[in-house]
Amino acid sequence: MGMWQFRIFPAISMLLLGALPVLAQHEYTESEIEAGKAQYAINCVRCHGPDGDNITNADIGHGKSRRATTDAEFVALIREGISGTRMVAFPNINEQNAQTIVAYLRSMASTANAAASLPPGDVARGKTIFEGKGGCRTCHRVGDQGSRTGPDLSQIGAQRRVVELHRSILEPDAEIIPANRFLRIVTKDGSALTGKLLNQDSFTVQILDVKDEKLKSFSKSNLREYTFVSNSPMPSYKDKLSTQELSDLISYLASLKGQAN
Partner 1 sequence: MRRINLRHMLFVVLTATGSLYAQVSNDRILRAAQEPQNWLTHHGNYNSQRYSTLSQIAPDNVKNLELQWLFQARSLEKFEATPLVVDGIIYTVQAPNDIVALDAATGRLFWTYSHTPDPAARPCCGRVNRGLAILGDTLFMATIDARLIAVDAKSGRPLWDVAVAKPESGYAMTLAPLVVKDKVIVGTAGGEYGIRGFLAAYDAKTGKEVWRFYTIPGPGEPGHETWPSQNNAWEHGGASVWVTGSYDPDLNLTYWGIGNPGPDWNGDERNGDNLYSCSVVALDADTGKLKWYYQFSPHDEFDYDSTQVPVLADMQWKGSPRKVMLWANRNGFFYVLDRATGQFLLGKPFVEVNWASGFDEKGRPQRVPGMVPTAQGTSILPGNQGGTNWYNPSYSPKTGLFYIPTWANYSSLYVKQPEDYVEGRPFRGGTPRPTTPNGIRSTVNNYAKEDEGYGAIRAIDPHTGEMKWQFKMTDVTDAGVLTTASNLLFSGGREGYFYALDARDGKLLWKFPVGGRVVAGPMTFSSAGRQYVSIAAGNSLFTFALKQ
Q: Which residues bind partner 1 (CB under 8 A)?
A: 29-32, 34-35, 38, 94-97, 99-100, 175-179, 181, 197-203, 228
In the bound state with partner 1, the residue whose beta carbon lies nearer, of 54 and 97, is 97
Encode burial over 105-119: b for 16+ CB neighbours within 10 A, e otherwise. Answer: bbbbbbbbebbeebe
In the bound state with partner 1, the residue whose beta carbon lies nearer, of 134 and 151, is 151
Contact 133, 233 (CB under 8 A): no
Contact 169, 237 (CB under 8 A): yes
- Minimal distance, residue 118 CB to partner 1, in Å: 26
In the bound state with partner 1, the residue whose beta carbon lies nearer, of 57 and 219, is 219
Q: Could you tell me which residues are beta bridge partners of residue 145?
A: 142
In the bound state with partner 1, the residue whose beta carbon lies nearer, of 34 and 131, is 34
In the bound state with partner 1, the residue whose beta carbon lies nearer, of 19 and 38, is 38
- Which of 189, 163, 172, 176 lies closest to 235, judged by CA? 172
- The DSSP result for 200-244, as a single string, is E-SSEEEEEETTT--EEEEEGGGEEEEEE--S-SSPP-TTTS-HH
- Minimal distance, residue 179 CB to partner 1, in Å: 6
Phi, psi of 136, deg, nearest 5? -70, -30
How far is the C-alpha of 241 from the C-alpha of 70, rounded, in Å?
42
3-state secondary structure of 59: coil
- Minimal distance, residue 176 CB to partner 1, in Å: 8
- Minimal distance, residue 163 CB to partner 1, in Å: 17
In the bound state with partner 1, the residue whose beta carbon lies nearer, of 94 and 138, is 94
- Minimal distance, residue 39 CB to partner 1, in Å: 10
- Minimal distance, residue 29 CB to partner 1, in Å: 5
If one counts every other C-beta atom within 10 angstroms of the C-beta of residue 215, the result is 11
In the bound state with partner 1, the residue whose beta carbon lies nearer, of 56 and 230, is 230
- Minimal distance, residue 204 CB to partner 1, in Å: 9
Inter-CA distances, 67 with 19, 49, 58, 99, 114, Å: 18, 18, 8, 16, 26
3-state secondary structure of 197: strand
